[in-house]
Chains A and B, each alone.
Chain A
């Protein structure tokens, strides 16, 4: 299903149960992501899509000295990609070449023109989310806006955000329901959106055997999709079920692809690697709000710099009674929940 990107603007706020007294604000359109929307449907890219997965590959000398044939496709071996360095070890020039390679492959495999970049963390900034559970009504606009922003595979569908429907008076996730439908909010229900908490003491980063995931200075836990070996140990480690695995090559139509891509964030992932929410770092490091926040028609989501005492999140954490999920695990999350 194709929905226009502009739904994340204020127009949508009107369409969704809001009184028609609001008009779109000027300047709002700039904040919405650009998208080369084209109705050119259904271009099968099944063959060339697999190409860059590499063909015959030397396997894991670290474990056994055996070799295994991997991913027979119709592409050629990209040895530069195969021997690509860990992202943190690349020079600026090497990164530029890699970004170019990713864009080229996206063009070849998905037919879309994309721009790959990687905005650096901003000095002194530490991102955080605050989510009002009194306001969230469980409409899942954030879930779908996230999918459109971050180029997740549509089949099998990968979603970063899970909204848990809980009985009022209980925060026991095991009693929650993720598959509710229909009119929301339901009577005596509370809705709790879950996504990566960008923990300051992240079990996933500790677990990763190859340092393919790490914490950035602005608090965001990122993944180098070209370094991840797909062992899924981080998924076992995560107490928030934030991480998703690409069991198959992500399937996206050309018009579904968001062309504004970040190397460590929303570029189309290769098969067999783990991905997760990254606070839309390709947007937020440029000053914009994350896509889920923009799409939220209730205003339950607050985002900003926790290190800036004047920011909403800092004031909320200081002045409201906030809590984090599974605090007893000492993961020190960066998503705070509160009731007001």
Chain B
């Protein structure tokens, strides 16, 4: 037990010390967290009235970010499968980073849900036993279960492996491998359930489509690798871990499949909406072209699609993706493009027009913007610190029996 406490203390010490760049980076994120905290205090004092959400558009930037981040969490499976199932050595080296990214993403998801709730302090009403979790009826109840389950799985596997590394012991496969396999299926389920959150409602025709779950998964497997490429490149540049080129190549190759597939599924959706031309086309009309000259999302969604197109060109062109700068730019655009497309680009049009035919637009308020910045900063800081500790442990720099 005392080893376990020392393990945590050592990790905390590792996280608290670092280079000037590390401190600057954390300080920068800390500023974001503080700004978010200030904005959140406003929201706590006055209520959600400080957001631009309304009875018509009852979900906004928070839920959009939540949706995107579930995809990021699910994407860690792209590293888990080849490294644990096919034992790819180069990927095994970074799989922990993927799992920690998933942990950070889930934590951010939960934070976004919390700030979106009108009565977060009543969250314990969901606790089985004390509260009344409406399972299996409510998809939100399913989501609570799968997200928290995924969080636990992704905390356990790296946690166990890192603790073993700390003690200098070989991990027992039976203590983590079954959970790894479970987490593979679970990763698919978190994003499927999140898609079902939206696609289950007949009253929202824009969301009520069977390909929403496939679209979610495919877009997650496009933006997830892109985010990993960026993260791994930064880690490589800090010199803490030597990452093989084959890792980047693998992630890029995944994107060469998923980005076109994402465009294809989006095209299917667009065809069904516009060729059918029923009254329900109005949401898609609003999203892509605007209604009566109003369309806050029109430049937004087209810029998102353009970013995805740019990313597609980069990952498909050897001349470009062999240069790190281009690959990073393509990845960054892919991350942003998908964030636009399945974040606010998916959530907001579902509410326009409202079921009573009212047309009310939405754009996040300053409070929503800063709270979102705060949560992102927190998540990135969490990822940075966890990764720093994990790399110190796996590289052997942090050991239980190391004389200090």
In the complex with contacts A246-B118, A248-B46, A164-B132 CB distance below 8 A: no
Contact of B2 with A by CB under 8 A: no
Interface residues of B in 79-135 (CB under 8 A from A): 107, 110-111, 113-114, 116-127, 131-134
Contact of A305 with B by CB under 8 A: no
In the complex with contacts A209-B126, A272-B48, A54-B121 CB distance below 8 A: yes
Q: What is the CA–CA distance of A330 and B203 in the complex, to the nearest angstrom?
A: 10
B52-60, B70-78, B221-229 - interface stretch: B52-60
User: Which residues does chain A contribute within 8 Å of B121, judged by CB atoms?
Assistant: 54, 57-60, 68, 70-71, 82
Q: Is the interface of A mostly helix, strand, loop or mixed?
A: loop
User: Which residues does chain B contribute within 8 Å of A64, judged by CB atoms?
Assistant: 107, 110-111, 114
Q: Digit string of A297-335 for contact with B (CB within 8 Å is 1, else 0)?
A: 000000000000000000000000000001011100000
Q: What is the CA–CA distance of A82 and B206 in the complex, to the nearest angstrom?
A: 38
Interface residues of A in 165-185 (CB under 8 A from B): 172-176, 178
Closest to B354 in A: A241
A245 touches B279 (CB 8 A): no
Contact of B329 with A by CB under 8 A: no
Q: What is the CA–CA distance of A285 and B261 in the complex, to the nearest angstrom?
A: 56
Interface residues of B in 167-219 (CB under 8 A from A): 197-198, 201-204
A60 touches B44 (CB 8 A): no
Contact with A209, one of B53, B120, B134 (Cβ below 8 angstroms): B134
User: Which residues does chain B contribute within 8 Å of A176, judged by CB atoms?
Assistant: 356-357
The count of residues in chain A whose C-beta lies closer than 8 Å to any C-beta of chain B is 66
Contact with B48, one of A71, A164, A209, A245 (Cβ below 8 angstroms): A245
Contact with B137, one of A206, A238, A270, A328 (Cβ below 8 angstroms): A206
Interface residues of A in 213-268 (CB under 8 A from B): 227-233, 235-241, 243-249
B123, B127, B198, B351, most chain A CB atoms within 10 A: B123
Contact of B353 with A by CB under 8 A: yes
Closest to B351 in A: A236
Contact of B334 with A by CB under 8 A: no
Min CB–CB distance A52 → chain B (angstroms): 13
Min CB–CB distance A250 → chain B (angstroms): 10
In the complex with contacts A57-B121, A175-B357, A206-B138 CB distance below 8 A: yes
Contact with B356, one of A173, A230, A236 (Cβ below 8 angstroms): A173
User: Which residues does chain B contribute within 8 Å of A90, judged by CB atoms?
Assistant: none
B49 touches A248 (CB 8 A): yes
Min CB–CB distance A2 → chain B (angstroms): 24
**Interface extent on B, as a size class?**
35 or more
Min CB–CB distance B166 → chain A (angstroms): 23
User: Which residues does chain A contribute within 8 Å of B116, judged by CB atoms?
Assistant: 231-232
B203 touches A69 (CB 8 A): no
Min CB–CB distance B302 → chain A (angstroms): 24
Contact of B141 with A by CB under 8 A: yes
Contact of B303 with A by CB under 8 A: no
Q: What is the CA–CA distance of A188 and B263 in the complex, to the nearest angstrom?
A: 45
User: Which residues does chain A contribute within 8 Å of B114, judged by CB atoms?
Assistant: 59-60, 63-64, 68
Q: What is the CA–CA distance of A47 and B147 in the complex, to the nearest angstrom?
A: 38
Min CB–CB distance A267 → chain B (angstroms): 16
Min CB–CB distance A170 → chain B (angstroms): 10
Contact with A229, one of B58, B107, B122 (Cβ below 8 angstroms): B122
B357 touches A172 (CB 8 A): yes
In the complex with contacts A229-B119, A248-B46, A178-B137 CB distance below 8 A: no
Contact with B125, one of A174, A229, A248, A249 (Cβ below 8 angstroms): A229
B138 touches A236 (CB 8 A): no
Min CB–CB distance A53 → chain B (angstroms): 9
A162 touches B356 (CB 8 A): yes
Contact of B47 with A by CB under 8 A: yes
In the complex with contacts A70-B120, A231-B140, A241-B356 CB distance below 8 A: yes
Contact with A58, one of B46, B59, B124 (Cβ below 8 angstroms): B124
Contact with B59, one of A232, A243, A270, A326 (Cβ below 8 angstroms): A232
Contact of B256 with A by CB under 8 A: no
A63 touches B148 (CB 8 A): yes
Min CB–CB distance A323 → chain B (angstroms): 16
Contact of B144 with A by CB under 8 A: yes
Contact of B267 with A by CB under 8 A: no
In the complex with contacts A62-B123, A63-B123, A194-B356, A271-B141 CB distance below 8 A: no
B48 touches A247 (CB 8 A): yes
Q: What is the CA–CA distance of A110 and B345 in the complex, to the nearest angstrom?
A: 42
A208 touches B134 (CB 8 A): yes
Q: What is the CA–CA distance of A205 and B124 in the complex, to the nearest angstrom?
A: 19
B47 touches A248 (CB 8 A): yes
Q: What is the CA–CA distance of A196 and B346 in the complex, to the nearest angstrom?
A: 26
User: Which residues does chain B contribute within 8 Å of A328, judged by CB atoms?
Assistant: 202
Q: What is the CA–CA distance of A178 and B131 in the complex, to the nearest angstrom?
A: 39
Min CB–CB distance A264 → chain B (angstroms): 16
Q: What is the CA–CA distance of A178 and B140 in the complex, to the nearest angstrom?
A: 31
Min CB–CB distance B270 → chain A (angstroms): 19
Q: What is the CA–CA distance of A86 and B51 in the complex, to the nearest angstrom?
A: 29
Contact of A287 with B by CB under 8 A: no
User: Which residues does chain A contribute within 8 Å of B58, judged by CB atoms?
Assistant: 232, 235-236, 245
Closest to A177 in B: B357
Contact of B146 with A by CB under 8 A: no
User: Which residues does chain B contribute within 8 Å of A241, judged by CB atoms?
Assistant: 55-56, 354-356, 358
Interface residues of A in 46-105 (CB under 8 A from B): 54, 57-64, 68-72, 82, 86
Give A contacts to B, CB under 8 Å: 54, 57-64, 68-72, 82, 86, 156, 158, 162, 164, 172-176, 178, 194, 203, 205-212, 227-233, 235-241, 243-249, 270-274, 326, 328-330
Give 26 A-B contacts (CB < 8 Å), ordered by A residue: A59-B114, A59-B121, A61-B124, A62-B124, A62-B131, A63-B123, A64-B107, A70-B44, A72-B45, A86-B132, A173-B355, A173-B357, A174-B353, A175-B357, A206-B134, A209-B138, A210-B133, A229-B123, A236-B198, A237-B201, A241-B55, A243-B55, A246-B47, A247-B53, A248-B47, A272-B117
